[in-house]
Amino acid sequence: MARTAYAHLRLQNRESERSQAVAQRGMALLRTINDTPTVSGIEPERPASPEKGHGTKMLAAGGGMLGDRGFGELQARFTYHDWLDNPEGYLNGAAIEAFHARIRRTESDDLSLEQLDVVNIKSLAPRNRFRNPISWFVNGGLDRRFIGDKRHLTRHIQGGPGLAWELGSVMPYAYAMARAENNSAHDVLVSTAAGARAGLLWYAEHFQLGLEAEGLYYHNDDRRYRPSATLNVPLGRNHALRARVERDGGPDRAETEFHLSWRYYFD
């Protein structure tokens, strides 16, 4: 502990002239370090090698219910890793996705593009007594949202700063967010909104769980919310089952979606 405190003191004062008080604190810590018996034989826990992680591309097949209507869905992701993929070989709380597409077919044989993430980057940087970093996220592409009483495909970009913490295997977080979108439901070319997103990630031994709630307030007084829960169960290195429940909508209408998929990762 004394070594850590001394390293932190040096880091804090690396660019400024050392004062008498700092010098005295440093000398006191050095005396404590010198008087503390050396503990040997403790090996730090080493993370899994990146080569042991899942493949960087992904295909998925699944289905579910949106309200009282069934659907089947195919997904493809060009790269790389999301929050709830098998974390072995990857950094917890980091997600980089590019060209992630979801195509859906409903019971009425309607085929539609449900989502296309051109880029989706999320970074959780846990805060502690020694470091206070800022987390952030940015996402751009297309997705379907309830606007009024109907789901519309929207072209959007959104992002914002946030805070995160690490409590053992659980990582709570909160983001402030801004969103700009274009859709057929609004008269203006670009609709803007501000809001917040909060949740937690649980990296258990045999599964990953994500809980999240998002709320947005638009410049035209439209309001939308989206709470969700997602469970990922790895089945070996390159296979996983994922279940998700989500409530999407606003004051006029909202529906609950249940979704189950099998995911295959490859290079």
pLDDT digits (tens, 9 = 90+) for 115-155: 999 999 999 999 988 889 999 999 999 999 888 778 889 99
Is the pLDDT confidence value at 41 over 60?
no
The C-alpha atoms of residue 88 and residue 239 are separated, in whole angstroms, by 13
Residue type at position 179:
R
For 251, phi and psi rounded to 5 degrees? -65, -30
Which whole number is the average pLDDT over 161-171?
96
Token couple for 255: 């529906």
pLDDT of residue 105: 94
Quote the pLDDT of residue 47: 64
Report, as an integer, the average pLDDT of 38-43: 61
Residue 252 above 60 pLDDT? yes
State yes or no: pLDDT of 210 exceeds 80: yes
Closest among 231, 239, 234 to 259, alpha carbons compared = 231
- Look at residue 33 and tell me whether its pLDDT is greater than 80: no
pLDDT tops 70 at residue 2: no
Per-residue pLDDT, 44: 65
254 has pLDDT over 80: yes
What's the pLDDT score for residue 19? 74
Measured distance CA(257)–CA(68) in Å, rounded:
9
Q: What is the arithmetic mean of pLDDT over 74-83?
A: 95
Q: Give φ, ψ of 10 to 5 degrees.
A: -65, -40
pLDDT at 43: 64
The mean pLDDT of the chain is 89
